Structure 1
Amino acid sequence: MPAKPLAKPPAKPPATSPVTSRRLMAIAAATLIAAAAPATFAYAAPSAGVSPTTVAPGGRVALNVDGCGTRTGRATSTAFSEVRLTPGNLNATNLYGSATVFRDANPGTHRVIFECGGPGGERVTVSLQVASGAARGGTGGSIGSMSPGQVAVGGALAAGALGAGIWVLRRRAAGTGAA
């Protein structure tokens, strides 16, 4: 019987040098830091808003900043006086306030600067658009584009319809009209 050839022992993997191991560890650490950094920075930046974003002089706006992490803040603008913001919840993640736009505010875009914790705190800037002219009062502008003749014709038609309705009702009440 022929003899079986001897099996070769399994090959050992090549040994890694200490320099290679350190490089791999440095790459792994850098990857971990890079993956965690955007989440940290996204959480840390507050966001703010003004509602409505377009307002007439003399109008009111609501102010809100989220993510300050403080219980105090302020909002300033050339369109209104400084406003102290107060917490909207126990964790002070939202700060709220409201402002009245100056009646003589210049039309155009005004910056609104929110500061977390007051002066020197983290800042967020948003835009507020001040419309030209004042808001219409009274009829709300519903007849602003109508001529006096159109208003007179409309009034005459309404009065005629009212008179015809009263005439029909009186005839029915007297029993002379159709039932």
Structure 2
Amino acid sequence: MRAIRVAAAALLGVAALSLTAPAAHAARSGDITSFGFGVAPSTIAPGGEVTLSVDGCHRRTTVSSGVFDTVVIPRGQSSATALVDRDARPGTVYEVTFRCGDESGRTDLTIATGHPTHHPTHHPTRGSHAGAGGTLAGFDLQEIGLGAALVAGSLGAAWHWSRRRPEDESHT
């Protein structure tokens, strides 16, 4: 009976660990690149302005999407802006493609409801790479916390089940 409980606890632990794998961040083909890229904000109203950023591309970067005109980020610069089409349909997710030399990567841009937002921004030619806001190495901190809670819970349950004595079974 004890071996069954230990096996069940081990299986529960393995299942919890497999659930914490970053499946949500599994890359689509072409998304693993030697350069970093991003769109900010990732949700914008029709007619709004987005900042297109690239890091680690030592060539000119071409950025294209069905929701704005093609933009070129010149070699030696890290960002450019694009004006989202005013007739973009709210609630639609558009793919944005960054091409640096022979490599390309994709990310999504969501069209929100509301009025366009234009924020005056200063874009230095050489800024520091600060990462993507709210993430840690591309992982969402909320997902990391949930995964850690699942692992801790399954390890606690496994420890509890493995420590139960036969006399404890009469109370269950």
TM-score, normalisation: structure 2: 0.45
Q: Which has the larger radius of gyration?
A: 1
